[in-house]
Amino acid sequence: MGGLRCVDGSYLTVTPVACTDSVGTPYEITLELHRDGTPYGTVGERCGWLLARLARGVDEARAGRGEARAWPDPDDRFPDEEPDSELFSFRYRTRSGVVGGGELRCWLRTIPIWMPDRGRRGEWRLTRRAYVEAWGATGVGMRAVLTSAELSVFVRGLVDEAEGCLGVRDLCRNPVGGPGRGERR
């Protein structure tokens, strides 16, 4: 069960729950959201392989692979190099395709911070942060602001728990519900 302390002081709990087929075999996950222990929404039907891919991407970016090495601080390194881009967006959908009942999304934001120097000089320093936002069925939102290290811990925790729910060892390499449903173990 992954959790985040939000900027308003509330606590968002995200729990992967196995989706099962008609014979009860788990094949993917959905995420249950709770705000301070109260049910908040259910989102992300079949999102396990997306989370696994994001976890791998954040780890690679933090290690300085690809264009992420342009950011000197590993906490500013994320897998997407667009200035303000979305890393994921999970919504609740009914069978008829109607959206409602919750949303969990993560987008990157580049933030300039003035770093004063001694005297009158200084310089702008750019930082990047992941904004994880959750919206419940009532329309009340929550937001947590994370470094890439904090996002890595959060997403890796969700992936590890999802692997336990699904009975796979490496969701990144063995996507149960990804394209083509992958191999089961």
In a domain, 90, yes or no: yes
Q: Count the domains in the chain.
A: 1
In a domain, 47, yes or no: yes
In a domain, 130, yes or no: yes
pLDDT, residue 68, reads 67
In a domain, 173, yes or no: no
pLDDT, residue 180, reads 40
Low-confidence ranges of the chain (pLDDT < 50): 177-185
pLDDT, residue 176, reads 52
pLDDT, residue 147, reads 96
pLDDT, residue 87, reads 93
Q: Are 62 and 148 in contact (CB under 8 A)?
A: yes
- pLDDT tens, 125-135? 889 999 999 99
In a domain, 179, yes or no: no
- The string of DSSP letters for 17-75 reads EEEE-TTS-EEEEEEEEEETTEEEEEE-TT-HHHHHHHHHHHHHHHTT-GGGGGSSSGG
